[in-house]
Amino acid sequence: MHEMRKSIWRIAVFHFICWAPFWTFAIVPHYIAQLWGHDFLERLPGWYIYCRLFANCLPYINAAGNWVLYALLNYDVRKHIYNKPYQRFLFSSLSTV
Protein backbone atom coordinates (compact mmCIF):
# COMPACT_ATOMS: atom_id res chain seq x y z
CA MET A 1 0.00 0.00 0.00
CA HIS A 2 2.90 2.33 0.75
CA GLU A 3 4.37 1.87 -2.75
CA MET A 4 1.02 2.65 -4.36
CA ARG A 5 0.69 5.83 -2.31
CA LYS A 6 4.18 6.93 -3.36
CA SER A 7 3.38 6.23 -7.00
CA ILE A 8 0.19 8.28 -6.86
CA TRP A 9 2.05 11.18 -5.26
CA ARG A 10 4.76 11.04 -7.93
CA ILE A 11 2.16 11.18 -10.70
CA ALA A 12 0.29 14.03 -9.00
CA VAL A 13 3.47 16.07 -8.47
CA PHE A 14 4.56 15.49 -12.07
CA HIS A 15 1.19 16.68 -13.38
CA PHE A 16 1.14 19.68 -11.03
CA ILE A 17 4.67 20.76 -12.00
CA CYS A 18 3.76 20.58 -15.68
CA TRP A 19 0.28 22.14 -15.59
CA ALA A 20 0.39 24.73 -12.78
CA PRO A 21 2.74 27.17 -14.56
CA PHE A 22 0.67 26.91 -17.75
CA TRP A 23 -2.57 27.81 -15.99
CA THR A 24 -0.87 30.46 -13.88
CA PHE A 25 0.48 32.25 -16.94
CA ALA A 26 -2.87 31.82 -18.71
CA ILE A 27 -5.18 33.10 -15.95
CA VAL A 28 -3.23 35.58 -13.81
CA PRO A 29 -2.70 38.22 -16.55
CA HIS A 30 -6.45 38.45 -17.11
CA TYR A 31 -7.11 39.04 -13.42
CA ILE A 32 -4.36 41.65 -13.29
CA ALA A 33 -5.77 43.30 -16.43
CA GLN A 34 -9.15 43.60 -14.73
CA LEU A 35 -7.53 45.24 -11.71
CA TRP A 36 -5.02 47.53 -13.43
CA GLY A 37 -6.54 48.02 -16.87
CA HIS A 38 -6.25 46.25 -20.19
CA ASP A 39 -3.19 48.21 -21.26
CA PHE A 40 -1.22 46.15 -18.74
CA LEU A 41 -1.21 43.18 -21.15
CA GLU A 42 0.50 45.35 -23.76
CA ARG A 43 3.30 46.30 -21.36
CA LEU A 44 4.42 42.83 -20.29
CA PRO A 45 8.18 42.56 -19.66
CA GLY A 46 10.40 40.44 -21.89
CA TRP A 47 11.21 37.88 -19.20
CA TYR A 48 7.48 37.25 -18.78
CA ILE A 49 7.11 36.36 -22.45
CA TYR A 50 9.96 33.81 -22.21
CA CYS A 51 8.57 32.31 -19.00
CA ARG A 52 5.14 32.01 -20.59
CA LEU A 53 6.67 30.31 -23.62
CA PHE A 54 8.39 27.80 -21.33
CA ALA A 55 5.14 27.29 -19.39
CA ASN A 56 3.33 26.61 -22.68
CA CYS A 57 5.85 23.83 -23.43
CA LEU A 58 5.36 22.07 -20.09
CA PRO A 59 2.00 20.40 -20.93
CA TYR A 60 3.61 18.91 -24.04
CA ILE A 61 6.48 17.65 -21.89
CA ASN A 62 3.87 16.16 -19.58
CA ALA A 63 2.13 14.37 -22.43
CA ALA A 64 5.41 13.09 -23.85
CA GLY A 65 6.69 12.00 -20.44
CA ASN A 66 3.58 10.21 -19.20
CA TRP A 67 4.47 6.87 -20.74
CA VAL A 68 8.01 7.11 -19.34
CA LEU A 69 6.72 7.94 -15.86
CA TYR A 70 4.18 5.12 -15.85
CA ALA A 71 6.75 2.67 -17.19
CA LEU A 72 9.26 3.61 -14.49
CA LEU A 73 6.60 3.29 -11.81
CA ASN A 74 5.80 -0.23 -13.00
CA TYR A 75 7.88 -2.64 -10.94
CA ASP A 76 8.12 -5.31 -13.65
CA VAL A 77 9.45 -2.83 -16.20
CA ARG A 78 12.02 -1.46 -13.74
CA LYS A 79 13.15 -4.98 -12.88
CA HIS A 80 13.53 -5.79 -16.58
CA ILE A 81 15.55 -2.61 -17.24
CA TYR A 82 17.87 -3.14 -14.27
CA ASN A 83 18.49 -6.82 -15.09
CA LYS A 84 18.99 -6.26 -18.82
CA PRO A 85 22.79 -5.71 -18.70
CA TYR A 86 23.24 -8.99 -16.85
CA GLN A 87 21.26 -11.11 -19.29
CA ARG A 88 22.91 -12.82 -22.21
CA PHE A 89 21.13 -13.74 -25.35
CA LEU A 90 22.29 -17.10 -26.57
CA PHE A 91 21.16 -17.64 -30.10
CA SER A 92 22.35 -21.23 -30.03
CA SER A 93 19.65 -22.03 -27.50
CA LEU A 94 16.92 -20.99 -29.91
CA SER A 95 15.14 -23.84 -31.57
CA THR A 96 15.45 -24.11 -35.31
CA VAL A 97 12.80 -25.43 -37.61
The whole-number pLDDT of residue 96 equals 54
**H helices then E strands: how many in the chain?**
3, 0
List the chain domain ranges. Answer: 2-93
The whole-number pLDDT of residue 70 equals 85
Spell out the SS3 assignment of 42-53: HHCCHHHHHHHH
The whole-number pLDDT of residue 95 equals 54
**Average pLDDT, rounded, for the chain:** 81
The whole-number pLDDT of residue 33 equals 81
Provide the greatest CA pair distance for the chain: 79
4 has a pLDDT exceeding 60: yes
